Amino acid sequence: MNPVFTPADVADLDRLLIHWDAEVIGYVVLIFSFSLEFHGREALLDELYVRERFRGRGAGKASLQWIEAICRREGIHAVRLEVERANTRAQAVYRQAGYVAHDRYVLTKWLEAPCGTVLPT
């Protein structure tokens, strides 16, 4: 069975649910922005989550293909993502789909503590 994605409207692309039959098996969070480096509009795949018992069945691969098709349709020039160094399984999925690592660091400065958390010192 192939996963189904909702909603289909690009206005709601920041919150996508992945369905397998009638069951929600995961979600995608996609953010759009503009980048001089990537020559125009880009998308950041902020989250791609598939419930563990559905992993390895092609839902992640299908999600990436669906995201890329939407981005091409919308004139997006690049899709970027971050993945934990220890998550080699996800890295393999991304690399197989054509994503490449860049020789740079991702740096973050928290300006405000997220709700219910304490900032590191």
88 within some domain:
yes
15 within some domain:
yes
What CATH number does residue 23 fall under?
Answer: 3.40.630.30
Bridge partners for 19 per DSSP: 4, 24
Parallel/antiparallel/unpaired status of strands 40-50 and 78-81 = parallel
53 within some domain:
yes
38 within some domain:
yes
What is the spatial distance between Cα 44 and Cα 78, in angstroms, rounded to a whole number? Answer: 8
> Tens of pLDDT along 108-117?
888 887 777 7
What is the spatial distance between Cα 106 and Cα 11, in angstroms, rounded to a whole number? Answer: 28
| Structural domain total, the chain | 1
pTM of the model: 0.77
- Percent helix, strand, coil in the chain (nearest 5)? 25, 30, 45
79 within some domain:
yes
> Tens of pLDDT along 81-101?
999 999 999 999 999 999 999
Full domain range(s) for residue 19: 4-96
What is the spatial distance between Cα 17 and Cα 54, in angstroms, rounded to a whole number? Answer: 14
